[in-house]
Structure 1
Amino acid sequence: MYDDLTYSSMEAPSYIRFFHASPGAPAVDIYANDVKVASSLKYEAFTPYKRLKPDRYYITVYPAGTKTDPILSSYVDLRPNMDYTAAVIGTPDDISGLGILDTARRIPPNTTQVKFVHLSPNAPPVDVYANDRLIAKDVQYTERGRDLIIPADTYTISLNLAGTPTTVLVAPRQNLKEGNYYTIYAVGLAGEKPPLQIISALDKASY
């Protein structure tokens, strides 16, 4: 799903969604050039994609219901005909932002596209498996794996300590449907609360 923020132009628009991936941080309000684009966004939640004019935007993030002391502020540049996820990441005493380009390749019938993004601030580098298939290797915090086309199916997603057979997280029953584009995020804290977990999100090219 996406929202139309009064965009009108002959130029191809940009699309951006916001993702609260900072474990332990409060719900947030988010502004782009002083226009509110997210209200009371809770940990693990996404906004719909917002359609915006390609431009540079000043993004500010506040604890929900306030607008005095931002917990994060940053510029983002949006290019025409591009889809983005802007994630609020890190721990409450070290919050930052991360822009993720939601790329989409042409995919054959009976397949799906996946990529992995590591957003757990205290987890080590990981290898990522879909069933027994390696889909991302030695991915560190804030890094992403490459886009990969795999058969559409229901998978068990596993995270192993990079370069080892030691599994640190198993997420069964991940239904990756034909023709869809997914980003698989690792969020939370290893060995702490909220715990390390997998979130599989549909990217905009899916609809």
Structure 2
Amino acid sequence: MTLSGTALAAALAGCTDGGGDGDVTTQANGTTAGTTEEPTETAEETTTQSGEQAFVRAVHAAPGAPAVDVYVNDQLAFEEAPYKGVTPYAELPPGEYDVRITAAGDESTVVFDETVPVEAGYQSALAYGELGADEGSDTAFSVGLLADQSEAPGDEESLVRLFHGSPDAPAVDVTVESSGDVLFDGAAFGDTTDYASVPPGSYTLEVRPDTEDGSGDVVTTFDVTVEGGTAYSAFAVGYLELSGDQPEFDLVTTTDGPGQTEGPE
């Protein structure tokens, strides 16, 4: 599988970094067409039966890990994806693909090498966890495939979900400052919540340790603006308690699914 590198490079070059209370790192996403060479039998059969395509992007949410290259069926698919980077969606037939992730520019340093099933629709291939953690530990480096919202919500509705990727943070509740409503309840490291429906507008979100009623002390806050007819993913990354040059806790937001090209403000 080969993918257009021009659109990918432009998207990664436009990524901005942020951190600390009140900052949100927003990544724009888009789509870029891909072509396949000698697709697998599974991919051919699935495409023939359904007539649908898969759209996959890569999300680098592993704090402390270097920029990475992603190979699909031994072809370079995503190059030098940085920490907190989100690539555009790439189009490919559904099926099983050999996915290998290496340190950028160093094929000998392999951090992931497995066969990954890819279904029709929009998905995020998410790298998270700690490279230095013991294999089998709760915070060990992992790659997961998240099913993204494939249909835009109505114009008067925004959809938002949360992925908890902060290795040293406890399970958290996320509440809305103005109302006290619990938007996400008890999200632990490695968890992805369901999409929550909220009216379009601007919000201050409070991150708290998980309690039964969402009344834990506020650890940090983030200001976000969401638009109607748009689905968003928010990736909580970094560390609450810093040691050495560890990256600080941050919230990376992206728009999900077809036709989405800008993140929230």
The answer to whether the superposition gives a TM-score over 0.5 is yes
User: 2:259, 2:159 → 1: CA distance?
Assistant: 10
User: 1:104, 1:136 → 2: CA distance?
Assistant: 21
Deviations 1:65-109 (A, max 9, x none): 1112311122221112x2111111111213211221113466333
Pick aligned residue for 1:165 from 206, 216, 220: 216
Deviations 1:164-189 (A, max 9, x none): 421112112x1111111001111111
Q: Is the 8 A contact 2:168 2:241 kept in 1?
A: no
Deviations 1:135-166 (A, max 9, x none): 11001111111111110011112211001421
Pick aligned residue for 1:4 from 33, 36, 40: 33
Flag the structure with higher strand content.
1
Is the counterpart of residue 87 in structure 1 residue 126 in structure 2? yes
What does 1:138-157 correspond to in 2, within 5 Å? 138-157=186-205
1 or 2 for the larger relative contact order (CA 8 Å, sep ≥6)?
A: 2
Larger radius of gyration: 2
What does 1:1-207 correspond to in 2, within 5 Å? 1-6=30-35, 11-80=51-120, 82-93=121-132, 94-104=140-150, 107-131=153-177, 132-163=180-211, 164-172=215-223, 174-192=224-242, 193-207=246-260
Identity percentage of aligned residues:
23
User: 1:29, 1:41 → 2: CA distance?
Assistant: 6
Q: Is the 8 A contact 1:118 1:139 kept in 2?
A: yes
User: 1:114, 1:60 → 2: CA distance?
Assistant: 30
User: 2:152, 2:86 → 1: CA distance?
Assistant: 25
Deviations 1:100-140 (A, max 9, x none): 11134663332211111111122110001233331110011
Q: Post-superposition shift, 1:57?
A: 1.1
User: 2:145, 2:239 → 1: CA distance?
Assistant: 20
Call closer, same or farther: CA 1:206–1:190 in 2, change over 3 Å: farther
Flag the structure with higher helix content.
2
Structure 1 residues 157-166 or 36-45, which shifts more? 157-166
Q: How many equivalent residue pairs?
A: 205
Structure 1 residues 176-185 or 156-165, which shifts more? 156-165
Mark the runs of 5 or more structure 1 residues left unpaired by the alignment: none
Call closer, same or farther: CA 1:101–1:70 in 2, change over 3 Å: same
Call closer, same or farther: CA 1:105–1:51 in 2, change over 3 Å: closer
